[in-house]
Chains A and B, each alone.
Chain A
Amino acid sequence: MSHRIIKPGLMTSIQDLGRKGFQQHGVIVGGAMDGYSLRMANMLVGNDEGEAALEITLMGPTIKMEKDCLISITGANLSPAIDNQAAPMWKPIHVKAGSILRFEGCISGCRAYLSVAGGYAIPEVLDSKSTYLRAGIGGYMGRALKAGDILACNEPPSMMDRWEVKGSFSYPKWFVNEREFMPVRNPLIRFIDGSQYEHFTNYSKLRFVEGSFKVSNQSDRMGYRLSGPALECQSHEELLSEAVTNGSIQVPPDGNPIILLADRQTTGGYPKMAQVISADLPIIAQVKPGESIQFSRVTLREAECLYLHKERQMKEWKASISLALHDWHIY
């Protein structure tokens, strides 16, 4: 069983929830930019939440399904179509062998996730299947997918035999409400104070929450470069390098903030003005270069509550989905 890549798309790579535990050796965490959409894609096909899936950026790939399989597509709406017929998102889809999945164009969001029941047969490197592009390890040969790549899939759960596919693909009526996951236009991103927040001028702090910041074209999995009102530190003393994390907003001397994301380095030396809260990181991952974001300051306590609330929601989703999947298998 395998997926054959006919066209790779703009940037398609294997990602899971990241490579944890090796940061002290300089090894980045990486993993899906939008962790909630990845987890949801896996839940919808009955996988472990953290199974590796394809992360698809803006222009999607063309993939031939060599055998019957159960897939799901979440995250950005890049107009998925199977054998030229629009395919649904946020639900399990049973696809007939020989079908071709294409993505016809970006309607909303930036990154889609494609998960297959059983997961892709990808060896773990340092406890993770995530592609670490700069070091050339993990994922599919340590790189983004290319035309001609063949992604082997693991055996799906045995109940798949019982499903019957009409036409190229079939799917249940129910779906997950994508509005819970996808950002609105000009999203408001919540942050807590960064480690060096107090080093910035009061005027800069004000501009940070009142201004609008455009995501530059030089943005990628490593970080988003923003342009907007310039931010300034009170003093220009050099910092010693120290740990950074997903969502750390560093401000280099030019005053344009950089939001560090999945493929960030483990350490950095620029002052950190702010820190995007965990619950809002997936929203940033779906903002395209050229779009704008705004910032809103919250307390650590609020950030923690929002995170725990989101996790509770995910747990509820997981319970309902696994019930629905089970019913779908039987009837």
Chain B
Amino acid sequence: MWKNPLNETACQMSPLGDSAIVLTFGNGIEYSIHKKIKLFMEMLEEEPFAGFVECVPAFTNLTVFYEPLVIYNTHKQSDEAISPYHVVRSILEEKLLDLMEDKKLSHRTVTIPVCYGGEYGPDLEYVARYHDLTTDEVIHIHSTGEYLIYMIGFAPGFPFLGGLSEDIATPRRSSPRMTIPAGAVGIAGKQTGVYPISTPGGWQLIGQTPAKLFLPNVNPPSLLQAGDMVKFQPISEQEYKEMKGG
């Protein structure tokens, strides 16, 4: 366990294979952990070390991928054998000393238009019945919530959101669908999210967005980023068609 003597940052480091290191800042889905991960990631990306490849944030940790050969060639001293993992670890420990936890995180808020119900959200009625609500109430609860993106994973541009109201949290379908169309907005337990590309899946589908979440010809290729806030904006079928066509 690494601990910064000057502030509250404590962090566990462990290898993920021989070319990545995982920095764990806590456990559980909490904003304070997310903030440390996000701030440290920004620091690393602004001032990458030689051999840094990329990093992947998750709920409680940040995985830093590196090129062991570059680390070795940059840091080897005469004949002394060095471990790329230990070199990266000490570089990161040093950088952690500079982590300013009181620094404010800037939030982007992205509004995702959603056409709820009907053929666009075949499970909306099920979700409403499950909670003894009307479909309008489900839409209202879903679209007034604000959601924080903790991480992107599973598929290109797929956001893991926190903040779904318990009032509409619904278990996955007992039998998953063979294909869920790109743009489908779903609920699975306390999670809600949007499918950027078509995949099989067991989420309860409540709507569909015309927005494209995966943009392979743009950098970054994902509409949403970890740290963004997401709001869902109900739209009519006609608006959906216009936006989809445009």
Contacts and interface: CB of A to CB of B under 8 A. Distances in A.
B216 A267 contact: no
Contact of B58 (A27, A240, A245, A246): A240
Given A126-B221, A308-B68, A135 B17 contact: no
B214 A135 contact: yes
Contact of B83 (A135, A267, A300): A300
A303 B22 contact: no
A267 B151 contact: yes
Interface residues of B, number: 49
Given A308-B72, A311-B69, A25 B220 contact: yes
Interface in B99-127: none
Nearest to B160: A241
Contacts of A304: 18, 68, 83-85
Interface of A: 20-28, 125-126, 134-135, 137, 192, 195, 240-248, 265-267, 275-278, 300-301, 303-305, 307-308, 311
A267 B17 contact: no
B153 interface: yes
B192 interface: no
Nearest to B64: A243
A243 B197 contact: no
Given A240-B60, A241-B151, A24 B226 contact: yes
A229 to B, nearest CB: 23
B210 interface: no
Nearest to B197: A135
B221 A242 contact: no
B152 interface: yes
A27 B85 contact: no
Interface string B16-47: 11111010000001000000000001000000
Nearest to A247: B17
B215 to A, nearest CB: 9
B53 interface: yes
Contacts of A267: 56, 58, 151, 153-154
Contact of B157 (A21, A26, A242): A26
Contacts of A195: 14, 16, 22
Instruction: State the majority secondary structure of interface residues on A.
Output: mixed
Contacts of B147: none
Contacts of B83: 300-301, 304
Most buried by B among A242, A246, A265, A276: A242
B181 to A, nearest CB: 14
A242 B69 contact: no
Interface in B198-246: 199, 214, 216-217, 219-222, 225-226
B98 interface: no
B31 to A, nearest CB: 15
Contacts of B72: 308
A303 B156 contact: no
6 contacts: A24-B41, A25-B157, A126-B221, A192-B17, A247-B17, A304-B84
A246 B151 CA distance: 20
Interface in B127-158: 151-158
Contact of A241 (B68, B153, B156, B226): B153
B54 interface: yes
B60 A245 contact: no
Contacts of B60: 240, 242
B162 to A, nearest CB: 11
Contacts of B41: 24
B18 A277 contact: yes
Max chain A Cβ within 10 angstroms of own Cβ: one of B59, B155, B226:
B155
A265 B154 contact: yes
A9 B83 CA distance: 43
Contacts of B92: none
Given A26-B222, A243-B20, 18 more contacts: A20-B65, A24-B152, A27-B221, A126-B216, A135-B155, A135-B214, A243-B56, A245-B16, A245-B65, A247-B17, A266-B153, A275-B16, A278-B17, A300-B18, A300-B85, A303-B17, A305-B81, A307-B69
